[in-house]
Amino acid sequence: MRNVMSKKIVLFIFILTVSVIAQIYAVPLIFGVALCFAPVLYLAAIRLFGFRFALLLAICMSLLTHFLHIGNSFVFISILEVLIIGGLYTKIGKDLFTWSFAYSIILFIIYFIMEFLFPEVLEGIKSLTNFMILQVITATLFSALVADMLCDYLPLISKFKSWFPTQNQLYFGQVISHILIFSAVFPLLIIILVNARAIENDMYQEYHLQYQQLEERLQRKIAEMDSTDIQNYELDAALEKARIKSILDEFIGTSNKRVLVMDQGDQVWLDTNNENKLSASLDMEVGFVKEIHSNGFIWLPSNHQTLSDWYNGYYIGDTAFLNKRTWLIIPIRSSVIALATNLIDYLLFVLLVLFIALVFGMLVNRILTNSLSHLTQMTSDLPGKMKRQETFYWKDTAIDEFSKLGQNIEKVANQLQAMFADAKKKNDLLTARTNQLKESESKLYRLAHFDTLTDLPNRYSFHIDLTERLEEQENLDRFAIVFIDLDKFKQVNDTLGHSGGDLLLKLFAKRLKRFERGEPITFYRLAGDEFVAIVNLTTENEVQWLCNQLLEAIKQPLMINKTEITLIASIGISFYPDNGKTSDALLHHADSLMYEEKKRHHELTYGEEND
């Protein structure tokens, strides 16, 4: 019991943390309206963990977000949501989306009572409050719908099954109902958002246009001023100040715009409103600033960016008139009210569509669930039957449409069985041919790049590797080419036969491969008893030492057909780039030195025989 309680506490803290994070990272949409997933969490908690769990979650989340200054006072409405929706769901059942409509009706009643009792409070901002209440209700309905869908469909995913203590039965009619409601409402919400964004962008463009018109007037005035006028302006002459004010008053006209010209100490030098009340309220060090164009931004009195903050916000365009900073200030409340009024009709239409979709979804759910339950039982384990190649049996039903559907399913199933069998045969044949092609390709590659007798890389591989090495522009370090030729190999062939010579070359190649392990050298067979190697060493001493080691390894006796043979090899060494910069030049130089070495061996051997 204690273990279960501790798990529930940990789960509560986790969901509470996620809810607060969701409040922090709510996606701002427009004018204080934000997309937040916290309501989905505490509404889903009603179904998953019970009414008390969800109510405590909503209370703790509201208090935390309020005292941490994350949200605004509207976060406490979540407690009312859980009380009403959770209470009805716990007592009656059904789903969250249905009872969210009941909550919406209660919220409407409370709002109309407040509007009737306190009309003076809402005077002048009725459109704003209507939009706010409609937005809250729409968000609650949509959150309840998403919470229902999460609780219904997430348990179907194996990874999430353990998260859900109970799993409700899901019916096809219920799925169709969800699809109908979601597909009817979601596009409308997207349209509302797009339309609102368009209106918001139009507002920003209008402010930018006003800013450009002010700059044009100021520039025109500067062009008309002579040096005396400019001097009088810089000396704060009253006459020049009056001329500028008349130009700015003409620009403002009867609108609610305002222009402030600041002096060098950022004090108001000229105010078109004659009442210097605004500058005190516009504290740029606090609040929220949103840049909408270069030198133009929206200022809100707080960082919460609520609809109230937007209502009390200003557009501020920052420019200059000669040596004085100039501000264009436009209250945005009229634009906010215009947008809210425009969106009220959209939200009312969304609520109407939600209600119709709910009623229609309930009817569809009942009709389809009852009708399809029989069809579902008849067609159970259809994929398994097709996989096992069993004959599909259809028992007719009284409903004509479902009867035809069953007959079509039977035909399609039998056709699919034949198609799957044919496809399997073709797939097996294709796999076999693919394997044959891969094997042939591997053999061809082996034949082209490796010597068939010694299994060493052949002349073609040597030229490819050396050419690639020479073409590398980033790593042209010094390296060596070693040409190796076996002395008196023809005598071995004459003595042991060609089969013995071939065996000698195989054993010699194995000895080269053993020597190659752990050494910076790669061996190739050119032809007959001629071999070549690429040595990745830079100094002559290192290469000569390695070649001496190689010659010692070659001299070790070999047993061929019970005959002991001691090999002697002649080698020639060429260095890149000292002895050539092309493969032909390097190979020719090494070959020449090898023949000189072979000649010395021959002379030495001939001299010993004469002695």
In a domain, 103, yes or no: yes
If asked whether residues 224 and 131 sit together in one domain, one would say no
Task: Give me the DSSP letters along 253-280.
Answer: TTSS-EEEEE-TTS-EEEETTS-TTHHH
Q: Which residues pair with 34 in a beta bridge?
A: 28
Beta strands in 192-267 (DSSP E): 258-262
pLDDT for the residue numbered 365:
67
Could you tell me if 314 and 331 are in contact, meaning their C-beta atoms sit under 8 angstroms apart?
A: yes
If asked whether residues 415 and 504 sit together in one domain, one would say no
| Among 286, 347, 336, residue whose Cα is nearest residue 308 | 336
**Please, is 245 exposed, middle or buried when counting C-beta atoms within 10 Å of its C-beta (0-12, 13-18, 19+)?**
middle
The total number of structural domains that make up the chain: 4
If asked whether residues 244 and 100 sit together in one domain, one would say no
If asked whether residues 49 and 91 sit together in one domain, one would say yes
Residues 6+ apart with CB under 8 A from 556: 511, 566
pLDDT for the residue numbered 122:
65
Could you tell me if 469 and 415 are in contact, meaning their C-beta atoms sit under 8 angstroms apart?
A: no
In a domain, 397, yes or no: yes
Last residue of a domain, one of 170, 190, 210: 170
Last residue of a domain, one of 423, 448, 473: 448
| Among 129, 86, 90, 87, residue whose Cα is nearest residue 108 | 129
In a domain, 420, yes or no: yes
If asked whether residues 231 and 91 sit together in one domain, one would say no
If asked whether residues 16 and 164 sit together in one domain, one would say yes
State the number of CA atoms in the 13 A half-sphere of 545 facing the CB: 8
Return left, alpha or beta for 528; rule: phi > 0 is left, psi -120 to 50 is alpha, else beta: left
In a domain, 350, yes or no: no
In a domain, 453, yes or no: no
Last residue of a domain, one of 310, 335, 360: 335
The CATH number covering residue 503 comes to 3.30.70.270
If asked whether residues 463 and 442 sit together in one domain, one would say no
pLDDT for the residue numbered 413:
67
CA distances from 409 to 373, 376, 380, 404 (A): 16, 12, 12, 9
State the Cα–Cα distance between residues 42 and 525, nearest whole angstrom: 76
pLDDT for the residue numbered 280:
43
pLDDT for the residue numbered 481:
92
For residue 398 the two structure tokens come to: 């009284």
| Among 553, 552, 567, residue whose Cα is nearest residue 501 | 567
Task: Give me the DSSP letters along 414-458.
Answer: HHHHHHHHHHHHHHHHHHHHHHHHHHHHHHHHHHHHB-TTT-SB-
| Among 425, 523, 516, 446, residue whose Cα is nearest residue 483 | 523
Phi, psi of 183 (to 5 degrees): -70, -25
If asked whether residues 479 and 566 sit together in one domain, one would say yes
State the Cα–Cα distance between residues 355 and 370, nearest whole angstrom: 23
Query: How many C-beta neighbours within 10 Å does residue 534 have?
Result: 19
In a domain, 368, yes or no: no
If asked whether residues 96 and 145 sit together in one domain, one would say yes
State the Cα–Cα distance between residues 543 and 576, nearest whole angstrom: 12
State the Cα–Cα distance between residues 417 and 412, nearest whole angstrom: 8
If asked whether residues 144 and 87 sit together in one domain, one would say yes
If asked whether residues 40 and 95 sit together in one domain, one would say yes
For residue 574 the two structure tokens come to: 């060429």
State the Cα–Cα distance between residues 298 and 316, nearest whole angstrom: 6
Phi, psi of 326 (to 5 degrees): -130, 135
State the Cα–Cα distance between residues 142 and 496, nearest whole angstrom: 93
* Average pLDDT per block of 10 residues along the chain, 611 residues long: 69 84 76 78 86 89 79 72 90 86 88 81 74 85 86 76 65 72 78 81 89 88 81 76 84 85 81 60 69 88 79 88 87 84 82 79 67 59 62 57 66 70 77 81 82 87 87 72 85 75 85 86 88 88 89 84 80 88 88 87 61 46
Helix (H, G, I), strand (E, B) or coil at 486: strand
Could you tell me if 298 and 231 are in contact, meaning their C-beta atoms sit under 8 angstroms apart?
A: no
The CATH number covering residue 139 comes to 1.10.1760.20
Q: Which domain holds residue 310?
A: 201-335
In a domain, 209, yes or no: yes
**Please, is 235 exposed, middle or buried when counting C-beta atoms within 10 Å of its C-beta (0-12, 13-18, 19+)?**
exposed
In a domain, 348, yes or no: no
If you ran DSSP here, which 8-state letter would residue 313 be given?
A: -
Cα Rg of the chain, angstroms: 45
If asked whether residues 436 and 562 sit together in one domain, one would say no
